[in-house]
Structure 1
């Protein structure tokens, strides 16, 4: 593992990890992800992200393809998700957890003993192409409202990444070629410029923006408060899936970001539990059966709560 990952993340706000998967793993996960997507498109899986809504909560019925349909499949680790074990083997794999751990300041193997697991299972979803109509996400930071004035924006950026590190790591892993994520390098460490602050929500170009290009098997880990947006190119209705990108996050149990009252765990719990994962992670049939570490990480998520009454980080 390259020791430069953290340095790159701190400088640019994102880091691309090439060839995280082998060709065989790409092929197998692509097949499993396609099945999950088909189920969501046809209403056989009730957890998805719907066009044109950007943030949760999402409707429980997928819109028709003529309106864009869905742009994501939620809860790949849910006990009722077909292919769950294959998804879980990737999510809890050393190749993912080692990179995530480095980016949060821990070394491989640290904190895995009987005294407890430092990493927390969080979210694992799938980003897909809408049908017929293109779909775009507006410029945003994941956990800082766009209406925050400069002083508040500066305070929140510093509080959520003290010492340049977040209390979680999130990533996109491409199973098809992916050019959907657009970022402004370095924006995770500063307030928005006047140009950025005054830009239209879906501004096609901002100074210094960069399209993150991923080949199948590549992953991008990124600071959730980098200024970014997504562009989802539509696919033909009923045609082959053109975007299958695994979108995951992994937390650090003790946390590192802080809110104004120091309640960092509450802030992170809202960001995670707003997606509904707390409704099923405690179930008796939610055990993964792939090793003790997965169960320790799941137990850490259970400790966060059920998600009742936590609200939502952003709206829209």
Structure 2
């Protein structure tokens, strides 16, 4: 087993620098600026709004902390830049290594952009992405035991000190003290009050790969520029296990032929696995993982 896989398994995350070539880094920064400007001007409706932590997102606040669906073909050339990075050899190689699967098993999922709000600092509460905050210990452990079917990552285009995690918490239920800080729907006033918390700082070009059921939260300073690529890839061998967590974000646009045309050959195969997941997941059965 590789050192990064060892770290990922034991800590629930691993930071890998330098996956983006200098040329691709420049292109990703340019594409990010383009879609962020569209979002801030109101011409891109798929965004994460200040005051709403989890989907479904609304338009009740003009300030944004994220851009959704950055591979959407309506974003033009920027979408192509993002989809090329998402399916790049260096990135998918790491994902396959962490998931212990072959490239032929990788499933296209979500790709969004995390940005700084302009007017209001904002924070997310302590959470696991697909475990309710009020889950009983045995329910929590059952969810953790099966959540090895995908990998999530943040790639920083500017220095990023927003993500807080509790290392190792992807494998064990919360202690009573940790439950106190994570059963509320309110963000923490100080994330470091959580027992075992650690702040992760990413330099430009660093990527943190993490198990999305690690106990984590985030704090966004509206005065500090942020553009962080936020995405996940699944392991299609596990069927519909990831259906709710992925499809709750609204991905009907991936069925469009023009989206498939913008993908690389590898990307088209990854998309086919997502379409198979969607076909095998009941639309009526899709619910939201978290509230807030």
Partner residue, 1:210: 198
Q: Deviation per CA, 1:280-311, whole angstroms, max 9, x where unpaired?
A: 11112112445311111111111122773312
CA separation of 1:292 and 1:27: change in aligned 2, threshold 3 A? closer
Give the C-alpha shift of residue 84 in structure 1.
1.0
Map 1:150-229 onto structure 2 (within 5 A): 150-160=137-147, 166-199=148-181, 201-203=186-188, 204=190, 205-229=193-217
Q: Deviation per CA, 1:242-264, whole angstroms, max 9, x where unpaired?
A: 10000010011112xxxxxxxxx
Partner residue, 2:11: 12
Q: Deviation per CA, 1:119-156, whole angstroms, max 9, x where unpaired?
A: 11000000000112100000000011110111221222
Matched, 1:102 2:97: yes
Matched, 1:136 2:123: yes
Which deviates more from structure 2 when the two are superposed, residues 72-81 or residues 18-27? 18-27
Separation (CA, whole Å) in 2 of partners of 1:138 and 1:289? 36
Separation (CA, whole Å) in 2 of partners of 1:24 and 1:253? 31
Partner residue, 1:303: 276
Separation (CA, whole Å) in 1 of partners of 2:60 and 2:258? 27
Give the C-alpha shift of residue 202 in structure 1.
2.9
Give the C-alpha shift of residue 184 in structure 1.
0.6
Matched, 1:35 2:34: yes
Map 1:279-294 onto structure 2 (within 5 A): 279-294=252-267
Q: Deviation per CA, 1:154-177, whole angstroms, max 9, x where unpaired?
A: 2221233xxxxx111110000010
1:85 to 80, 84, 106: 80
Partner residue, 1:50: 49
RMSD of aligned Cα (Å): 1.7
Separation (CA, whole Å) in 2 of partners of 1:298 and 1:275? 16
**Contact 1:41 1:62 survives alignment (8 Å):** no
Partner residue, 1:259: none
1:243 to 208, 221, 226: 226
Separation (CA, whole Å) in 1 of partners of 2:72 and 2:283? 18
CA separation of 1:149 and 1:80: change in aligned 2, threshold 3 A? same
SS at match of 1:313: coil
**Pairs aligned (count):** 282
Map 1:106-117 onto structure 2 (within 5 A): 106=101, 110=102, 117=104
Separation (CA, whole Å) in 2 of partners of 1:97 and 1:156? 25
Partner residue, 1:260: none
Q: Deviation per CA, 1:69-92, whole angstroms, max 9, x where unpaired?
A: 111001111111131111111000
Please report the TM-score for the alignment, with normalisation by the length of structure 1. 0.85
Partner residue, 1:63: 61
Partner residue, 2:291: 315
CA separation of 1:30 and 1:253: change in aligned 2, threshold 3 A? same
Higher strand content, 1 or 2: 2
2:242 to 268, 271, 278: 268
Separation (CA, whole Å) in 2 of partners of 1:245 and 1:34? 11
Give the C-alpha shift of residue 21 in structure 1.
1.6
